[in-house]
Chains A and B, each alone.
Chain A
Amino acid sequence: MKTCEACRLTVQTAGKTCVLCGGPLKIQLPDDFVPRYPAMDSGKKPKTKFTLLARIFLFLSIIAGSISLLINVLVWQGFAWSLIVVGGITIAWVLIGVPLMENMNLNLMLIFQMICVQIFIVLIDMNLGFPGWSLEYVYPLLYIAIAIVVAIFTIIYRMAWRDFLVTVMIMALYGLTPLIFISAGWVKVLWPSYAAILAAIFLSFGIAIFARDKFGKEFNKRMKF
C-alpha cells in the first residue's frame, strides 16, 4: 500500500512516484503489489509497411531509371529504349511489391497485375513501331492464362466465393476487350483473340449455371444504395 501525500490518495503501482503528480510515494504497508496491466512497451512494435530494404530498392530503382533516361537522351539514336527499362522496373514493383504491400484479394491482385503487364507490353510494342504482336498474341493469351487461374482459385476457395465471384465477373467482362481490337482492325492474327472471347463466354456461363443466385445476392448487397 502506497500513498501520495500531495494528492492524498492511495496509489497502486510498482513505481516509487505518484502516477498523478510524480511526487514521492509513502509506503505504509509491505508491498504486495501485482501489476494489473502489462508493461506499455510489451506489445509488438507497429510494423511499417515500407521497410528499409524496400526503401533501398526504391532508391536504386529511381537511380537506375534516371541514369538510363539520361544516357538515352545523351546518346540519342532515334529509339527510346530507356522507357522499356523504366517500364520494366515499374512492372517489377507491381509484380513483387503489390502482393507484399496490399491486402488485396488474390484474384483481384492477379487481375491488377495482368492489366499492368498488358499495358507495359503494348507500350513496348508501340515503342518498336507497333508490329502488333502485343495485341495479337500476348494480350489475349495472358488473359486466358489468368482466366484459368481465377476460375481455379474460385473453385478451390469456395468458402471465399463472396470475394471471388465479383472478380470472375470482372474477368468475364474484361475478356470481351479483344472485340474492340478486332473491330478496329488492330489485329491480323485472329485466333488468340477469339480464344480469349470464348474463355470470357465460358466464365459467364459458369457464373450463370453454377452461381446465379449467389451472384444475384452478392450484386444486391454491394450495389445497395
Chain B
Amino acid sequence: MQPFTAKTCTLPVERILFRRWLGKVKYNKRMNENQGGIAINREDNWFQLDTAANLYPAIVSYRQVSIFRLCCTLTETIDPEILQSALYLTLQRHPSFNVRLKRGAFWNYFENNTNVAKVTEETGSPCQLIELKQNDDFLFRVTWFRNRINLEIFHALSDGGGGLEFLKTLVYYYLNLQGKCISTDGMIRTLETKADSEEIENSFFRYYNPAVNKPQPPEEKALHIQGKALPMNHLRIVQGIIPVDQALALARSEQASLTEYLTAVLFKSFFAALPADTDPTAMVKISIPVNLRNHFPSRTMRNFSFYVYTGIRFQDRELPLDQLIQQVQSQLREMARPENLQPRINPDVSYTQNAAMRIVPLEAKNKLIKQVHRLVGEDLFTCSLSNLGAVQLPESMLPFISQFDFTLSSSERIPTNCSMCSYQNTLVITFVSNIEERTVERTFFRILAEQGLEIKIDSNEN
C-alpha cells in the first residue's frame, strides 16, 4: 500500500469548495431538524450534570479553574475560517458540548446553547478561567496558534476521554474541509454516525450497583509543595518531548507500565522539592485519574473517570527508583482491580440520590460542596498524573498531524500538575505550574535524561 503523504493527499480546488459548501448545507440541515435518536439540539432540550460534574461549578474560581487542555499540532499553519466551519460541524455531532450551564432550584443543568461558538487566536497564558458571558456561555474554548489547535474544556462538561473524541472530530472536519483525502476508518465520530443517547448518558448511573458495598478506608492527608505564585494567575507549561519507544523500553526494563515508571520518577521529584525538615511520616500522594471507559464499556462523552491515589512516605525518599516503582506498582494494581473499582462509583452516585441531599437548595448545596472540597478534596493528594494514553487516528490523517498534547490546570493547593499523552512515536509529558519554583520539573526530566532518554524541552516561558 502506498503511504499517505501530505502532497498526494490534497484534492483539487473545485472539490474543496464543493466540500465546504456541502459542509454548510449539512450544518443548516442539522440546525433545522433533530439529531438522530436524540433531540438535544432543540431549543427546549436539557439534561442534568453527570455525577462527577456537580463538583466543578461549586468550586470554580480564578485560582481553581478546573480546566484541561487538549492540543493538536498540524503540519501546516491553521486557517481560522476553516477551523470555524469545522467547529460548527463538530458541535452538531457532539451536542453535549453545545450547551450552557443553568442554575435550577436544586441542581445545575445544561440546556442547548443558541449562541454560536467562535474560534479565536490564542493569546496569553493557557488554561485561564472561562468567563461564560465573554465566551457566549460555552463551557469550552477553541483557539489556535500557528499550526496548533487548542481545545480547553471546563471539567463539568467532559473528561479527557470525551474531550479527545471532540478534538478528533474537530481535526477530522478541519482536514476534510481543507480538502485532504481522509477517511474515518470507524475511528472518528462524524455526522455520518449519528449521536445516540448513550453518548450523553451519565455512565456513573448505569454502573451504579448498591448491592456491591465495600467500606472505603479513610484517605490519609498528603504533603503539599509551596512556592511564590506567578503573577496575574499565569500558568507555566514545561513539556518534555520523548520518543515513545525509548520511554517504553525504559519502563519495561523495570517490568513496569509507563504510568507506573513515571509516577515513581514523579515521587522522586516531589521528594526533592520538599524541604528537608518535612515530617518523615507524612506522605507524598499522587492522584491518577482512571478512565472508567476502559473498565466499564461506555461511549459517553461526559465525565466517566475517577481518581486513585498512590502514596509514599517522606522517610522513604532515599529508596532507589526500582523499589519506588515496585511500591507504586503494587498500590496501583490493587486499586485498579474491578472488584475495587465498583465500590468507588457507588458513594459518588448515592450522594446525588440521597433524598436529604436532593432537597437542599442549590446555593446551600454549592456552599456545602465547596467546604467539603476545601477540607478534604485537595488535601488528599500532592499532584495529579493524568495519562491520556496513545491517541489513535485513521492512517489517512497521520501525515497532517505532528503532535498531540494534554495539559491540566493547577490550583492554589496543588500548584504543579503533570499530564501526558502520546501520538505515533512522540510522548509529550506536560507540567503545568502556577509557582516560580521549578524543582519538580527539573528533577523529573533530569532523572529521565540520566536514564538515557532523548528529551526535548519546550515551554511557554523563557
Contacts and interface: CB of A to CB of B under 8 A. Distances in A.
B44 A37 contact: no
A162 B43 contact: yes
A12 B456 CA distance: 7
Given A36-B148, A40-B124, A225-B359, A14 B462 contact: yes
Given A13-B462, A159-B114, A34 B123 contact: no
B48 interface: yes
Given A7-B445, A12-B457, A41-B124, A225 B462 contact: no
Interface stretch (B17-25, B167-175, B232-240, B328-336): B232-240
Contacts of B125: 40, 43
B105 interface: yes
Given A7-B446, A15-B462, A43 B43 contact: no
A223 B442 contact: no
Interface in B379-410: none
Nearest to B233: A46
A21 interface: yes
A11 B441 CA distance: 13
A225 B238 CA distance: 44
B128 A19 contact: no
Do most interface residues of chain A lie in helix, strand or loop, or is the interface mixed? loop
B457 A11 contact: yes
Interface in B161-188: none
B106 A225 contact: yes
Interface in B86-131: 102, 104-107, 109, 111, 114, 121-126, 128
B237 A20 contact: no
Interface residues of A, number: 36
Interface residues of B, number: 49
Nearest to B109: A221
Contact of B458 (A4, A12, A217, A225): A12
A183 interface: no
B145 interface: yes
B459 interface: yes
B290 interface: no
B146 interface: yes
Given A42-B124, A103-B133, A224 B48 contact: yes
Interface string A1-41: 00010011111111101111100000000000010111011
Given A9-B457, A21-B442, A162-B43, A224 B124 contact: no
Given A20-B441, A40-B124, A40-B125, A10 B457 contact: yes
A214 interface: yes
A19 B123 contact: no
B461 interface: yes
A222 interface: yes
B106 A20 contact: no
Given A8-B449, A225-B359, A38 B461 contact: no
Nearest to A224: B104
A24 B233 CA distance: 27
Contact of A9 (B107, B234, B449): B449
Given A9-B449, A42-B123, 16 more contacts: A7-B445, A9-B446, A9-B457, A10-B454, A34-B146, A38-B460, A40-B125, A43-B123, A45-B232, A46-B233, A159-B114, A217-B44, A221-B46, A223-B106, A225-B105, A225-B106
Interface of A: 4, 7-15, 17-21, 34, 36-38, 40-46, 103, 159, 162, 214, 217, 221-225
24 contacts: A7-B457, A9-B240, A9-B455, A10-B457, A12-B458, A13-B462, A19-B238, A20-B445, A20-B446, A36-B146, A36-B460, A37-B145, A37-B237, A38-B145, A40-B124, A42-B123, A42-B124, A43-B125, A162-B43, A221-B46, A223-B104, A224-B48, A224-B104, A225-B107
6 interchain residue pairs of minimum CB distance: A43-B124, A15-B462, A37-B460, A225-B106, A19-B459, A20-B442
